[in-house]
Amino acid sequence: MKRFVLAAALLATFALSQPASAQRPRPTANLPKWEGVCETPQMGWSSWNKFMTDINEDIIKEMADKLVELGLADCGYVYVNIDDGWHGQRDEGGFVSGDPSKFPSGMKAIGDYIHSKGLKYGIYSDAGDFTCNCCTGSRGHEYQDAFTYASWGVDYVKYDWCFTTNLDAKGAYTLMRNAIRASGRPMVFSICEWGTSKPWEWAGEVGHSWRTTHDIGPAFSPVPVSYTAEGKRNWRPQSVMDIIEQTAPLRQYAGPGHWNDPDMLEVGNEIVVDGITYKMTESEDRAHFTMWCMMAAPLILGNDLRDMSAQTLAIIKNKDVIAIDQDPLGVQGLCLKKEGDVQYWFKPLVDGDWAFCILNAGDKNVQLTVDWSKLEVDDELSGRQTDFAGTTYSAKNLWKASAKPFTTKKPVKVTVPTHDVAVYRLTPIKK
């Protein structure tokens, strides 16, 4: 009964806050998404990549604790997102609650704990009848669920796309956007539709980010296709290089408050597919993290924060590289050119700076001579030009603080190990 009273009160409050003309019944509602909640790509941690549905309130609390203890929250990782597997059943009134065996204190209590740490609370649902792991979906309960999440103090909703037969993606996500807005609580709305209906073409006004690909795995290079004895294709994760190739052409759709999402980070993780364990090397993790920053992607950690190497922690805490991702100009980087397995990327930054990254996707180390005259950028999207001929930049190596600094006055020799990157912040030298 209390839930009915809560919902009625929230609806009444929303109605009374509107002008008289807005209180009249309308055939359809078209409420704007919350603005100002995702001006730079969202950063945090999610339970899915490491724990999948094997989650409980102790694990979530421990992850929240570690975000603070390890200084990750100070780096910007503020969202603690509970992914698939938290759901219990709906009650007789249709209200959803957490699985009491996993979250005996309730979903509001876990949110209160997350907030007590100065962090933000994220939750997961699905546009279909069920979530991808057959838990309770939101179909037919969109407004009810959004108001419930608001009462729990939720700050972030990831919305998946399983069991959505006969649903239109834009319509289903717009419906949940409207519900979130009507709830009265600002929430980041993360669209997880896997890019199947080209959400980048329509989701800028619907959500704050949208998945551009299917699910990532801790594999740098493409995972070979395999089949069952019956000839059915086995599931395989998207690799880092798969996802870069698919997301790179979509830069025109990204910007403050609306981001391409190439999926969560796999830094420090491993996965078993068809009996094969996939785990990236330190160099591959570094390249993965750097390229997500170059693409202005959400940075959502997916590893066990209680048990990771010093190398993993150093990668995800590199504030200079994070600054590329969080740059307020909000422009996704561009791949200027490819030479075999080597890619040259630039990302315009505030105050005339540029991020410059060399990605070596090949299986051998490469020694390069960077000739700036052959790397001039004239970026129509941002209206920015490098002008190496007329402007000299200082170059700061963002992964090797001890590296000797150089300028762009003359060509420079660079060695990039296999499956690794060299990344620099280029700053114009003032005359």
Which residues belong to the active site?
160, 215
Alpha helices in 263-408 (DSSP H): 282-294, 310-316, 319-325
Q: How far apart are CA 344 and CA 337, in angstroms?
A: 6
Q: How far is CA 78 from CA 200, 262, 409, 417, in A?
A: 25, 19, 40, 32
> Would you state the structure tokens that stand for residue 220, as one six-digit string?
């740098």
In this structure, what are the phi and psi dihedrals at residue 262, rounded to the nearest 5 degrees? Answer: -80, 20
Taking residue 164's Cβ as centre, other Cβ atoms within 10 Å add up to 18
> Would you state the structure tokens that stand for residue 43, as one six-digit string?
């950063």
Q: Is-contact 175 144, C-beta < 8 A?
A: no
| Type of residue numbered 427 | T
Q: Please enumerate in sequence order all residues whose Cβ is within 8 A of that of 120, keeping only pairs 6 or more positions apart, or say none.
A: 44, 78, 79, 80, 114, 155, 156
| Segments of 67-154 assigned E as strands | 79-82, 87-90, 96-98, 120-126
**Beta-sheet strand order (sheet of 406-407):** 334-339, 342-348, 354-360, 420-428, 393-397, 406-407
Site of tokens 């069952």: 228
CA 181 to chain CA centroid, Å, is 21
